[in-house]
Amino acid sequence: MMEKFLQQSMDAEQKFYKYEEQRLKIEDKRREAEHARELQMLQMLGQMLAGISSAVSQRSHSRACSPPQRANRQSFGETINYNPVDRAFSPPIGISFFIQRSFSFRSTHSLKDMENIFRLVRNVIPPLTAKKHKGQDGRIGIVGGCQEYTGAPYFAAISALKVGADLSHVFCTKDAAAAIKSYSPELIVHPVLDIPNAVNEVEKWLPRLHTVVLGPGLGRDEVILEHAKGIIERTRAKGIPIIIDADGLWLIAQHPSIIQGYQGAILTPNLMEFSRLYEAVLRDPVDSDDHHGCVLRLSQALGNLTIVQKGERDLISDGQKVFVCSHEGSNRRCGGQGDLLSGSLGVLSHWAFLAGSEKTNGLNPFLVAAFGACSLTRQCNNQAFQKYGRSMTTKDMITEIGTAFNKLFEHEVKATN
Ligand SMILES: NC(=O)C1=CN([C@@H]2O[C@H](COP(=O)(O)OP(=O)(O)OC[C@H]3O[C@@H](n4cnc5c(N)ncnc54)[C@H](OP(=O)(O)O)[C@@H]3O)[C@@H](O)[C@H]2O)[C@@H](O)CC1
Ligand SMILES: Nc1ncnc2c1ncn2[C@@H]1O[C@H](COP(=O)(O)OP(=O)(O)OP(=O)(O)O)[C@@H](O)[C@H]1O
């Protein structure tokens, strides 16, 4: 009897230790995963910290920046006071950014700043709810696509959908339409850009669009560019945000007045497009030792519209501040990455515009949207490059949009009913 009892208690003890060992193993694994997550987070923050800085206009007076006027929308700009002595400036509400080329990883203050801008991007992302109907999270129009270039408008339009827009329209020439449709049944394609009443045809759709992205694959045909000019004018007249990229920037370099003073515009030049624009507007060559200053000056000269100068580091300015995005991408530079950026920016700028300055702590919402789109593009580039290396193409980056978006922005956005 006693022996049986002793045996039972030994068995129970062994079971207990076995169970405890398993529990500790699980706990260890959980801690390891948590630790790895923290490390990954810190690494990401470190990369981002190295990349973001802000600068403000060195003009003695500061200007208020106002968005395109739409019903129920309030002006998003606040006057930023720059103090040239301590090189810090007073932020509008609660955020403090410092003017430096990179942040020290050890500075907790900078860490907070970095977290803040990502938080602001998250703030403008609309929640997914059962109460919304198709179209409410974004109807984006891409103006571009001609015989030579069918990939660029496709990349922009599909990127807009994958970031979260509900509908993506492409306005292209007749001979580009079939190809673009064949790439994706998700796109709505209008073969109107080369018909005589192209501007009126596109204008019919403008009231249904939240943002227009003009330029990817537009080409440089005189007639098409003339139509594009008319479309920009009508979009501007309706106060609809417009992102101008690629050949659209070629057009702006010929006629800067079309866009001058329209703060609903975001221009996304690569280095070549930037110098073309800069020379056309400021009648001076770009100062290659002062990229920050050049981006500020171009934005100011065009009336404080938002400029995203793409490159090894993306410089984003509204003529008052310069944000630097050097989130880690890769060294692979295949064509079409800028199209992914402009399509994503189409959606993010709509969300930011809708959210207004209350959600961006008084910061120009377009700066927040541009920072979000640049980080996202670079994150897609990074993820796709890790998988495919040198064979990576823009299509591979587009496949990464969902996971890249989740990684950067989504963890605080919960689906609600
Ligand atoms: N699959 C498709 O359909 C795609 C179509 N696309 C569409 O093509 C159209 C024309 O766009 P684009 O950029 O090629 O035209 P453009 O301004 O004449 O540049 C030409 C010259 O500029 C230079 N250069 C370029 N980038 C530079 C940089 N970052 N930094 C410095 N220099 C740079 C370079 O000079 P090089 O290397 O020869 O010295 C190059 O020869 C446009 O509609 C676009 O949307 C693309 O979206 C791609 C995918
Ligand atoms: N040297 C670089 N290092 C890292 N990222 C870069 C570099 N150059 C550009 N990028 C990134 O690639 C994206 C597209 O920029 P790019 O200069 O290739 O535009 P683009 O020439 O207009 O593209 P497209 O081929 O679509 O016309 C941007 O998000 C930018 O951040």
Q: Which atom of ligand 1 is nearest to the CA of 250?
A: 17
Residue 375 CA, ligand 2 centroid: distance in Å? 12
Residue 335 CA, ligand 1 centroid: distance in Å? 8
Q: How far apart are CA 3 and CA 1, in angstroms?
A: 5
**Spatial contact of 190 and 172, defined as CB atoms under 8 Å apart:** yes
pLDDT reading at 231 higher than 70: yes
- Domain of residue 166, residue span: 118-125+133-410
Predicted confidence (pLDDT) per residue in 392-414, tens digit: 999 999 999 999 999 999 865 44
Structural domain includes residue 196: yes
pLDDT reading at 281 higher than 50: yes
pLDDT of residue 116: 79
- Ligand closest to Cα of 246 equals 1
pLDDT of residue 320: 95
pLDDT reading at 33 higher than 80: no
CATH of the domain at 241: 3.40.1190.20
pLDDT of residue 18: 66
Structural domain includes residue 53: no
Structural domain includes residue 293: yes
Structural domain includes residue 197: yes
Structural domain includes residue 305: yes
Closest-CA residue, ligand 2 atom 1, reads 312
Structural domain includes residue 400: yes
Q: What is the pTM of this model?
A: 0.79
Structural domain includes residue 231: yes
- The mean per-residue pLDDT over the stretch 75-98 comes to 25
Structural domain includes residue 110: no
H helices of 164-263, in order, are 174-183, 198-205, 222-237, 246-254
- The mean per-residue pLDDT over the stretch 296-325 comes to 97
Q: Which atom of ligand 1 is nearest to the CA of 339?
A: 47
Helix (H, G, I), strand (E, B) or coil at 232: helix
Listing DSSP states for 4-49 in one string gives HHHHHHHHHHHHHHHHHHHHHHHHHHHHHHHHHHHHHHHHHHHHHH
pLDDT reading at 317 higher than 90: yes
Predicted confidence (pLDDT) per residue in 350-395, tens digit: 999 999 999 999 999 999 999 999 999 999 999 999 999 999 999 9
User: Could you give the number of structural domains in the chain?
Assistant: 1
Residue 62 CA, ligand 2 centroid: distance in Å? 31
Q: What is the ipTM of this complex?
A: 0.94
32 a known binding residue? no
pLDDT reading at 11 higher than 90: no
